[in-house]
Amino acid sequence: MKFFIDTANLAQIREANDLGILDGVTTNPSLMAKEGIKGYDAVMQHYLDICSAVDGDISAEVIATDFAGMVREGEELASLSDKIVVKIPMIKEGIKAITYFSRKGIKTNCTLVFSAGQALLAAKAGATYVSPFIGRIDDASWDGVGLIEQIVGIYGNYEANTQILAASIRNPLHIVKCAEVGADVVTCPLDAILGLLQHPLTDIGLAKFLADAQKMN
C-alpha cells in the first residue's frame, strides 16, 4: 500500500518524506488556503515546491466546475511537472474532464467520492486514482472502510486500472483497516502516520533495554 500525505504544509511534507516511506502528496483548496497560499503565481509556485520536496505523485485540484475550465486549469497544472495529478471533483463535468485527460495520458484523481456508483464511473472514465472520503463517511454514521472494501471488490471484478486512494483518513486505525481491505493508497495527515509508530510496550521495552545497556558499561 502506498502512503501519501494529505497536506499543503511543506514542513510536514518534508518530515514525512524524511521517514523514507512517502509515495506522494494530496492537496485540496482547503489545505492550500490553510497555508495562506493566495493568487495564481503563489499557488503554482507552491505546487512546484511540493514537487521538489517529494519523489511521487502530487495531487493538485482544479477550482473550475465546468468542462472547459477544468481542462484549462488541469493542463496548466499538469505542465508544471510529470508528478502532478490533476484532482477533479466527482460531478458530471468532472467525469468528462477525467475522460479527456485520460485520453491525453494526464494523470487524474477523482475526488469527493462517497459511493460505489461514483467510484465505478470514475474508473470507467479512466481516472488514475479514485478518492473515497472515509472519515467524512464515518462522520455521517456510514461505514467508510466498508465503502473501500466494496470498491476493491467491484474493481477486482473487472481488473480496473484505477487505484483506490482512501482519503479523509482520521487516525492510525483507519490506515490499518484500509490495508486490511486492500486499498492501493492511503492519504493521511502527518499525525495519523506518526501514530502508527506508537505502542506502550515498545516504550516500556526500549526503556528497559536502555537501562540494562547502562550495566554493560
In angstroms, the CA 137 to CA 134 distance is 5
Q: Which of 61, 62, 46 is nearest to 13 (CA)?
A: 46
Place of cell 519523489: 55
Q: What is the dihedral of CA 87, 186, 138, 33, to 10 degrees?
A: -40
Asked if 118 interacts with ligand E4P (CB under 6 A), we say: no
Q: Pattern 9-48, binding to ligand E4P, x per CB under 6 A?
A: -----------------x-x--------------------
Q: Which is nearer to ligand E4P, 69 or 135 (CB)?
A: 135
Q: Pattern 130-149, binding to ligand E4P, x per CB under 6 A?
A: -x-x-xx-------------
Which of 83, 87, 107, 177 is labelled catalytic?
87
Q: Which is nearer to ligand E4P, 123 or 167 (CB)?
A: 167
Asked if 7 interacts with ligand E4P (CB under 6 A), we say: no
Is 104 known to be catalytic? Answer: no
Q: What is the dihedral of CA 25, 116, 70, 32, to 10 degrees?
A: -30
Q: Which of 80, 79, 69, 105 is nearest to 89 (CA)?
A: 69
Name the residues that contact ligand E4P, by CB under 6 A: 6, 26, 28, 111, 131, 133, 135-136, 167-168, 187
